[in-house]
Amino acid sequence: MRLLSRLRRTLPWLGGALWLGLIGAGWVIVTDYSSRPAPVGNVPEVWPADAPFGPDTTRMTLVMFVHPRCSCSRASLRELAYIMARARHNLTAHIFFYQPAHRPDAWIETDLWHYARTIPFTTVHRDPDGRLAERFGALASGQVVLFRPDGRRVFYGGITAGRGHEGPNPGRNQVLHLVREGVGTTDHTAVWGCLIQDKETTKPE
């Protein structure tokens, strides 16, 4: 009887400790994900010869790659809009949205797609199966690559301060410095976004 009584008194404490442990573990997982930069592929040093078109020969060209269902990328698109509002006379921008071959056109036309189409002086494209993203070394949504008129790469990376964070950040600053002044302090920054070809977000329904 004494053992049973002790168990009755102890079980609520054990249950509470287990619950707190689960909450703590979940918090660690979420925090680690939000604070961990996304991977970057093999970014070419010159504009790929097999790309469907070449860079602008009169100004710098920026390409951005986006997964249409990555909520983190709203901040990246807003940062691009900020850049274009200040550097549009010296910059041409293209946004490529990932579209799996088995998905209809409507799948890609999310609010991110529609917002991207409102950014002035920017052209929005579909990227079937992410082939062009892979060619430009973009593994995560929101990655940009900046090229000079001669096709030489001068910068690649992200233009946000973190996942879904808008505001001043090294990537945005580097692009603006390079476009307006021709010089920068680094040639790459961390990318914060969902994987473009994440199997969990692209599998057939």
Q: Roughly how many angstroms between the first and final C-alpha of the chain, as a whole number?
A: 56
Residue 52 lies in a domain: no
Number of domains making up the chain: 2
Per-residue pLDDT reduced to its tens digit, 81-122? 999 999 989 999 999 999 998 999 999 999 999 999 999 999
Are residues 94 and 164 both part of a single domain? yes
Are residues 4 and 92 both part of a single domain? no
Average pLDDT, the chain: 85
Are residues 66 and 27 both part of a single domain? no
Instruction: Give me 51's structure tokens.
Output: 């790309």
Residue 155 lies in a domain: yes
Residue 47 lies in a domain: no
User: Environment class of residue 5 by beta-carbon count within 10 Å: exposed (0-12), middle (13-18) or buried (19+)?
Assistant: exposed
Nearest to 180 by CA among 7, 59, 19, 8: 59
Are residues 77 and 172 both part of a single domain? yes
Are residues 32 and 112 both part of a single domain? no
Residue 45 lies in a domain: no
Per-residue pLDDT reduced to its tens digit, 118-172? 999 999 999 999 999 999 999 999 999 999 999 999 999 999 999 888 999 999 9
Instruction: Give me 144's structure tokens.
Output: 């940009």
Per-residue pLDDT reduced to its tens digit, 4-46? 565 466 555 544 544 434 343 333 333 344 568 889 999 999 9
Give the domain range for residue 64: 60-202
Which CATH number do you get for residue 98?
3.40.30.10
